[in-house]
């Protein structure tokens, strides 16, 4: 019999999962009906949002970071551009504005979203005194605000966790430092990163390095400070601490999808309760989750969605064959951290092993260095954009980078020193 698979969400996770599943079904000659349902005709290369405010070459406008989603949907996948209104795990149906669809298995890849009205005053000042770069429109507005900035107190604020790409605020601080130097405004600007974390990052070894790197750039880091209110002159933390600004760049609070909570699958703010190793939903059978809409303890980043898609496809096909899902997901995350002036740091980690120094992807040879600022890491970040469009979204394997983290080439002995 033909099994019907519905994949909800046409972002990175949904597209990769759909294409991988179709390829694997064709290879096995498996009878699958795969429907990808989403409501975003244009696909945004989200790492590019970091560069858009600075108008870097290749990142001048939306046409540089967006493509039509339909062009990445491979053979064997039916793409439905429809607004999803409900998920019913009991009847195994998904309702959209156009109709209702039954499924045998469901994959949720609905992503997450920024929420302005969770912080008092943020919505009121958004686009006027407070700006962001996590959406295309906000990144373009910020580009204009930076052109008009003449110096003063510039705050980069992380409102609360979790957020997409936790290293992006650090990267923005580094690129902001470079931008101000190039414009002759650095000596006229106090640059501050305010974060609810205990430092620049969550993992101790990496946090120590990144916090020290920011200090070397004269970027003030204010830790343990989530965002409570925004006025036209200052932000305030829950403990009453106020920090003044002339320009505020904030990463608003994030929530998952209301569809997930309404279906009884979520944690109350739209993130699906997920088995972190099998990626199965904890509250219903025949449902898998991947990407930003999970509640697993790893970064909400494109690389994670890619690695999780491989696990979901493997486990979903096992269940179709009557076999149990395997605990294959290890929380593997891999990302470049731009540090300005043509250099970047590469980190590679999972649930249990924090970023350590070493070589990647090949031991000794690299050519990339882990937890070290290098020019080649920066070039690797720039090279990822064509790789994303031509390999990752269509569901092709990226050589030497697997869904599970490898310790090969890593200096694991560093962990014993911390």
Number of domains in the chain: 3
Q: Is the same domain home to 390 and 295?
A: no
Q: Is the same domain home to 119 and 107?
A: no
Look at residues 266, 292, 320 and tell me which one is the last residue of a structural domain.
Answer: 320
Is residue 136 in some structural domain? Answer: yes
Is residue 182 in some structural domain? Answer: yes
Q: What is the DSSP string of 38-52?
A: ES-SEEE-GGGGGTG
Q: Is the pLDDT confidence value at 298 over 90?
A: yes
Report H helices in 322-388: 375-387
Nearest to 172 by CA among 190, 148, 192, 189: 192
pLDDT tens for 161-175 read 999 999 999 999 999
pLDDT tens for 54-101 read 999 999 999 999 999 999 999 999 999 999 999 999 999 999 999 999
pLDDT tens for 112-125 read 999 999 999 999 99
Q: Is the same domain home to 119 and 228?
A: yes
Is residue 56 in some structural domain? Answer: no
Q: Is the pLDDT confidence value at 303 over 90?
A: yes
- Phi/psi at 414 (5° precision): -60, -30
Banded pLDDT at 417 (limits 50, 70, 90): confident
Residue carrying structure tokens 């108008």: 55
CATH number of domain containing 16: 3.50.50.60
Is residue 165 in some structural domain? Answer: yes
Which pLDDT belongs to residue 399?
87
- Phi/psi at 222 (5° precision): -105, 105
| Cis, bond preceding 154 (omega within 30 deg of 0) | no
Q: Is the pLDDT confidence value at 158 over 80?
A: yes
Q: What angle, rounded to 10 degrees, do the helices at 168-182 and 204-216 form?
A: 10
Residues of the chain with pLDDT > 90, as a percent, come to 97
- Phi/psi at 203 (5° precision): -90, 130
Is residue 60 in some structural domain? Answer: no
Look at residues 253, 270, 293 and tell me which one is the last residue of a structural domain.
Answer: 253
Q: Is the same domain home to 188 and 234?
A: yes
277 in Cβ contact with 94 (< 8 Å): no
Look at residues 253, 284, 305 and tell me which one is the last residue of a structural domain.
Answer: 253
Backbone Cα Rg of the chain: 21
This prediction has a pTM of: 0.96
Q: Is the same domain home to 172 and 238?
A: yes
Rounded-to-integer distance, Cα 206 and Cα 316, Å: 35
Rounded-to-integer distance, Cα 376 and Cα 344, Å: 8
Average pLDDT, the chain: 96
- Segments forming the whole domain that contains residue 196: 114-253
Is residue 61 in some structural domain? Answer: no
Q: Is the same domain home to 231 and 139?
A: yes
Q: Is the pLDDT confidence value at 238 over 90?
A: yes
């Amino acid at each position: 019999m033909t099994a019907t698979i519905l994949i909800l969400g046409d972002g990175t996770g949904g597209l990769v999962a759909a294409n991988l599943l179709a390829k694997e079904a064709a290879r096995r000659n498996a009878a699958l009906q795969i429907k990808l349902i989403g409501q975003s005709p244009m696909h945004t290369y989200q790492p590019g949002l970091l560069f858009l405010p600075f108008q870097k070459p290749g990142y001048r406008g939306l046409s540089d970071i967006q493509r039509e989603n339909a062009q990445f949907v491979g053979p064997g996948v039916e793409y439905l551009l429809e607004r999803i209104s409900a998920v019913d795990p009991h009847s195994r149906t998904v309702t959209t504005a156009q109709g209702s669809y039954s499924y045998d298995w469901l994959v949720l890849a609905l992503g997450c979203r920024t929420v302005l009205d969770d912080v008092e005053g943020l919505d009121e000042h958004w686009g006027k005194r407070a700006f962001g770069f996590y959406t295309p429109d906000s990144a373009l507005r910020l580009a204009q605000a930076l052109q008009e900035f003449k110096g003063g107190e510039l705050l980069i604020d992380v409102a609360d966790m979790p957020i997409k790409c936790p290293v992006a605020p650090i990267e923005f601080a580094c690129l902001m430092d470079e931008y101000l130097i190039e414009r002759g405004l650095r000596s006229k600007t106090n640059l501050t990163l305010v974060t609810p974390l205990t430092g620049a990052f969550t993992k101790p070894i990496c946090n120590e390095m990144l916090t020290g790197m920011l200090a070397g750039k004269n970027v003030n880091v204010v830790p343990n400070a989530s965002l409570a209110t925004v006025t036209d002159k200052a932000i305030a933390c829950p403990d009453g601490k106020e920090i003044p600004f002339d320009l505020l760049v904030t990463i608003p609070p994030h929530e998952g999808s209301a569809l997930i909570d309404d279906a009884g699958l979520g944690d109350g703010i739209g993130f699906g309760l997920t088995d972190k190793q099998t990626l199965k939903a904890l509250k219903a059978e025949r449902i898998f989750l991947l990407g930003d809409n999970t509640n697993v303890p790893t970064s909400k980043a494109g690389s994670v969605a890619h690695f999780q898609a491989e696990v979901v496809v493997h486990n979903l096909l096992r269940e179709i064959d009557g076999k149990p899902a395997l605990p294959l997901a290890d929380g593997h995350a891999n990302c470049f951290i731009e540090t300005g002036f043509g250099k970047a740091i590469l980190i590679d980690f999972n649930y249990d092993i924090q970023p350590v120094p070493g070589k990647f992807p090949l031991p000794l040879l690299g050519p990339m260095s882990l937890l070290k600022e290098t020019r080649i890491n920066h070039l690797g970040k720039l090279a990822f954009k064509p790789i994303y469009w031509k390999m990752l979204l269509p569901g092709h394997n990226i050589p030497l980078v697997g869904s599970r983290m490898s310790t090969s080439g890593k200096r694991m002995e560093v962990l014993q020193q911390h």
